[in-house]
Amino acid sequence: MRKNLWLFLLKLLVFSLVLGYLWFSRYQVLYPYWIDGIADPFFKLVGVKKWWLSLVVEHFTNLVPYLALVLASPGFFKHWKRTLIALVGGVAILILGHLLLSWAVYHFHVKYSLSKSFYKIVIPMYIVNDALPLALWLSFFPRLPSELFGFKWFAKTTDERAG
């Protein structure tokens, strides 16, 4: 493996541990209050009468791997505009995803309560939500996987660039 990959993995590990510690020690409890100014009007608009935090709050943790991936990405300062766009845009998309997930969970909870049908519908939503950080990172940094891991399908080959 190349030096850049090892450095990326080391930074990813450090950022994941630090951000994970901060999230689980204090911010996970505060996060719903921070986004309450956005959540309340959204929930009123879409008819959510109760925010079932106990069913969704663990899936808000996807902020941690996303932030760790962005912060660990090579060129953090060199390409600061891209990094800033990825941080602000990605976090905004994740927050919107949390609100949409909360909305869906509310409506399926009203319809099915906590039955088997509820979980059959909601668990795939949880999985998509939990995988969203990687998809967002790849969309904001499409060339990094090829630079770090040598995956040819993420970047143009030398033949394609020449022609």
Q: What is the tens place of the pLDDT at every residue in 115-154?
A: 999 999 999 999 999 999 999 999 999 888 888 887 665 4
pTM: 0.86
Q: Tell me the pLDDT band of 101, cut-offs 50, 70 and 90.
A: very high
Residues 74 and 25: their CA atoms lie apart, in Å, by 28
Question: Any idea where the domains of the chain sit in the sequence?
Answer: 3-162
The upper half-sphere exposure of residue 15, i.e. CA atoms within 13 Å in the direction of its Cβ, equals 17
Report how far residue 139's alpha carbon sits from residue 151's, in angstroms, rounded to the nearest whole number: 15
* pLDDT given for residue 95 in this prediction: 97
Q: How is 1-57 classified by DSSP, letter by letter?
A: --HHHHHHHHHHHHHHHHHHHHIIIIIHHHHHHHTHHHHHHHHHHHT--S--HHHHG
pLDDT at 162: 42
Tokens of 89: 């845009």
Tokens read off for 102: 């909360």
∠ CA(43), CA(44), CA(45), 5° rounding? 90
